Amino acid sequence: MKTIKGPAIFLAQFMGEEAPFDTLDGICGWVSGLGYKGIQIPTWDARCIDLEQAAKSQAYCDDLKGLVASYGLEITELSTHLQGQLVAVHPAYDIMFEGFAPAEVQGNPSARTEWAIQQVKWSASASQRLGLGAAATFSGALLWHTVYPWPQRPAGLVEVGFGELAKRWTPILNHYEDCGVDCCYEIHPGEDIHDGHTYEMFWEATGQHERACILYDPSHFVLQQLDYLQFIDFYHDRIRMFHVKDAEFNPTGKSGVYGGYQDWINRAGRFRSLGDGQTDFKSIFSKLTQYGYDGWAVLEWECCIKSPEQGAAEGAPYIKRRIIEVTDKTFDDFAGGGSSDETNRAILGL
């Protein structure tokens, strides 16, 4: 067993137009003051990182680490959620995802895909220079519009979809292997990898690529009504990252998992600040610790009610209280006796 590191915080939802949220320098001071020990960096936000420069310049990465360390913080991982989404986009979603890409590739799906692939590869290179062992991303989706099987899916459609997804990602995963970095897919509705079965299908399609790992975020499983504790039992050896995000599911006679096209505040499934939802984090931290997860516990704040400032302030102590300092003793050692082959044989009557 190993002690989980933390608390850490994902900066994506906290960057803003006013100080201290408008610069990496400013936000590092803010999160450090709240008690966080690490930051997860969104690579699409130029205020946090110049991803291309980080991929190519060790001096830049050393300076970046030095700035973060000056606030008593570590960089936990880099995130390419938005760029990873664009590695695979069904045409039905082209317009809605255009804003994730720079202007020069908008309206050109092929150029947009190539841009996204380069971005995700740069994240691996930058992670290597920063001394990080894992990076976060989304898989993108070619099949999501068929998630509900009506009309009936044609035979072979799912296999073709995951085959193409693996074809696009395998060269990226090979680059991650070259860099010694795990590529951690957040299991998330809207992605073709959105539960255990879909992760397995993708993993098999990549030839069980060692770098195709999991970012575990139980909030998405609460909203899907998936057993998020048993998920750890199944996939603990593939989980290399952990988002600590809360959620609740309160179905009514009008709405359930699909949400009825309602705003978040009116949905049966809602993201909440830590401690305000239904997620059993005490059991999650116990299971992850039992299985030897030694990565970071990273707060991701998304709440339809509470402010991000309050959510962040409450999040650090919430995570800290749930991190288990692993024991190197057995609780009943005080009652133990000596051991020898002769003694053991005598106990067995041999």
What's the CATH code of the domain at 168?
Answer: 3.20.20.150
- Tally of domains in the chain: 1
What digits encode the pLDDT tens for the residues 86-113? 999 999 999 999 999 999 999 999 999 9
Pair 232, 287: CB distance under 8 Å? yes
Long-range contacts: 226-230, Cβ < 8 Å, 24+?
A: 226/195, 226/196, 228/279, 228/284, 229/280, 229/283, 229/284, 229/287
* C-alpha dist (Å) from residue 28 to 131, 135, 301: 19, 20, 16
* Enclosing domain of residue 90: 5-347
Residue-level pLDDT at 18: 97
Pair 61, 123: CB distance under 8 Å? no
Query: How much is the pTM?
Result: 0.95
Rounded CA gap, 165 and 171, in Å? 11
Pair 25, 338: CB distance under 8 Å? no
User: SS3 sequence, 109-139?
Assistant: HHHHHHHHHHHHHHHHHHHHHHCCCEEEECC
Residue-level pLDDT at 290: 97
In 218-268, beta strands by DSSP E:
239-244, 246-249
* C-alpha dist (Å) from residue 145 to 50, 53, 95, 259: 34, 36, 15, 16
Question: What residues pair up with 270 in beta bridges, in sequence order?
Answer: 248
The lowest-confidence range among 38-42, 205-209, 255-259, 343-347 is: 343-347
| Confidence class for position 328, pLDDT limits 50, 70, 90 | confident
pLDDT mean across residues, the chain: 96
pLDDT at 338 over 90: no
Rounded CA gap, 124 and 211, in Å? 11
The mean pLDDT value for 293-305 works out to 97
Residue-level pLDDT at 201: 98
The mean pLDDT value for 40-48 works out to 98
Question: What residues pair up with 216 in beta bridges, in sequence order?
Answer: 242
| Confidence class for position 339, pLDDT limits 50, 70, 90 | confident
pLDDT at 335 over 70: no
Rounded CA gap, 290 and 304, in Å? 32
Exposure of 144 in the CB half-sphere (CA atoms within 13 A)? 19
